[in-house]
Amino acid sequence: MAYDVATLAEEIARLRKAVEELKITFGAITPALQVTETELPKREDWVWKPVIKRDVSIPAGGKVTIYDEFGNGYIYYMIAKCDNPNLVFNVDVYADTLIELRLRPADMYDAGVVGYCGKSFWLSRYDTANDVYVLQVTPPGWGIPFRGRNRFWVENPTASGASIEYLYSWLIMFR
């Protein structure tokens, strides 16, 4: 695939900006991510399962599955950057009964869930001028538990397409 110099320069600038945003985010949540060996089961009983999605397009009125994991574990961390505050982020943790969270950045903003919250989903950025909305979860301890299955999908109830620039999630999966 051939790129011209201008296209490469734009891509490098975009990546540098994304790296700077991640540095700010990880700097804010580093204390919440500190886990010692004594807080987790024996190493042979679990594995890290990273989920990485980039440039996900969601058509108007559409739905996109980000992941659908079978097994037991925890959602340890998640961050998603999108361009539409009306996207609906859905998490189904299948605990003792069906538990489905439906999170919309615009609703979270209206409720004041902006800024670091070490126990819940929260917005680290809500920028209407640049259409940048960043949703995160940094739960305490191991994270949000799930049994048997964990699904994550995004719905776009609006009349125009939207996108998720990136979504990163760390799952702890038991063997």
> Which domains, from first to last, does the chain contain?
5-174 (2.60.120)
pLDDT computed for residue 143 by the predictor: 86
Torsion, Cα of 169, 145, 98, 79 (10° steps): -20
Residue 143's nearest CA partner among 120, 124, 123 is: 120
Instruction: Tell how strand 88-92 and strand 132-137 pair up.
Output: unpaired
Number of continuous H segments (helices) and E segments (strands) in the chain: 2, 10
Name, in order, each residue with C-beta under 8 angstroms of 40's C-beta and a sequence gap of 6 or more: 46, 142, 172
Specify whether the CB–CB gap between 81 and 163 falls below 8 A. Answer: no
pLDDT computed for residue 51 by the predictor: 94
Q: What is the mean pLDDT, run by run of 10 residues, along the chain of 175 residues? A: 74 76 61 52 79 96 94 91 97 73 94 85 95 92 84 95 95 89
Tokens found for residue 70? 């079978």
